[in-house]
Structure 1
Amino acid sequence: MMTAGPLVFTPDKRTHFRVPFTRTVKVRIQDKVHGQFAARNLSLGGVFLEGAVNVPVGEECRLELHETGNRISFIYTIRGKILRKEAGGVGIKFTGMAENCFMFLQTMILYSSDDPIQTAEHFLEEFAPAPVSIC
């Protein structure tokens, strides 16, 4: 389920870089499992899920990403909101997550990038502290 084209990050009207992300994501709405869907791409700001996600735009949801290693498993939970729908799936904007989940997403994006150094620099620019003015 890879998308065609280069994997290099290119800024567009979105504020976050996107990378291919081929994992299954469980979607919960109002504490009920709505289904599991294949992710197409991922950014620090959201994810695109493929398939017939029958949820209205604007609906709040909770996403679960399961990460399994040799000796340990994690479930990362992310709060989100359905931002857009199209024939192939839905775009979900992240609205909240724990710090360890944010670090996991950064790691996934760095590993999926063709240019991890440029990606890390973008992370630093994007999340740099605002300058402090002294009155």
Structure 2
Amino acid sequence: MPRQAPYIPASEENRRRFSRVLFNRTARLYLGGRRYEHEKIRNLSIGGVFVEGQYKANPGEICELELHESGRHSSLILRFTARIVRIIDDGVALEFIDMGPDAYMFLQTMVLYSSDDPYTVAQEFLDDFPAALQDTR
């Protein structure tokens, strides 16, 4: 299996709006009336996520994703509403369409600290800032 780069910059060539980083966590996925536990996340951006697995789904379908983050003194459940944008044999690419402010700040933190190019990622946050404000009203 080829080694994946830890950081994939957004560009015109790959049609991505936001840079992606590897993200080694699991999530709960609600899709098509079913709940999937401990689904592995391959990569993450502030615009979406790739979840590994095989799902009976169609592009455009809406789903819910939950990340459970636990720390030494607290725990946090982050919820995202997403749209399926791509389906391949080993997973689905999801585009975030709704999330709370805590989830958005978590995404920014994870992408920024996991990136090999934090300056470019920070610029993406600034470019997306007006849209993020509209989404939380």
TM-score (norm 1): 0.83
Aligned to 2:9: 9
- Would the alpha carbon gap of residues 3 and 106 (structure 1) be closer, same or farther in structure 2, given more than 3 Å must change? farther
AA aligned opposite 2:18: H
- Corresponding residue to 1:108 among 69, 93, 110: 110
Query: Unaligned stretches of 5+ in structure 2?
Result: 132-137
- Would the alpha carbon gap of residues 89 and 3 (structure 1) be closer, same or farther in structure 2, given more than 3 Å must change? farther
| 1:23-65 superposed Cα distances (whole Å, 9 cap, x missing partner) | 1011013664134311111111110011112323222111000
Say whether the 8 Å CA contact 1:19–1:113 is kept in structure 2: yes
Q: Secondary structure at the match of 1:71?
A: coil
Amino-acid identity (%): 40
Say whether the 8 Å CA contact 2:25–2:41 is kept in structure 1: yes
Question: Highest CA radius of gyration, 1 or 2?
Answer: 1
Say whether the 8 Å CA contact 1:64–1:75 is kept in structure 2: yes
Aligned to 1:133: none
AA aligned opposite 2:49: V
AA aligned opposite 2:85: L
> How many residues align structurally?
128
- Would the alpha carbon gap of residues 56 and 10 (structure 1) be closer, same or farther in structure 2, given more than 3 Å must change? closer
Query: Unaligned stretches of 5+ in structure 1?
Result: 130-135
Q: Secondary structure at the match of 1:22?
A: strand
Matching of residue 29 in structure 1 with residue 41 in structure 2 = no
Deviates more, 1:67-76 or 1:32-41: 32-41
- Corresponding residue to 1:55 among 42, 54, 57: 57
AA aligned opposite 1:105: L
Q: Which has the higher helix share?
A: 2
Q: Give the superposed CA RMSD.
A: 2.1
Distance 2:3 2:110 in 1: 16
AA aligned opposite 1:9: P
- Would the alpha carbon gap of residues 3 and 71 (structure 1) be closer, same or farther in structure 2, given more than 3 Å must change? farther
Q: Secondary structure at the match of 1:109?
A: helix
Matching of residue 80 in structure 1 with residue 82 in structure 2 = yes
Distance 2:8 2:94 in 1: 22
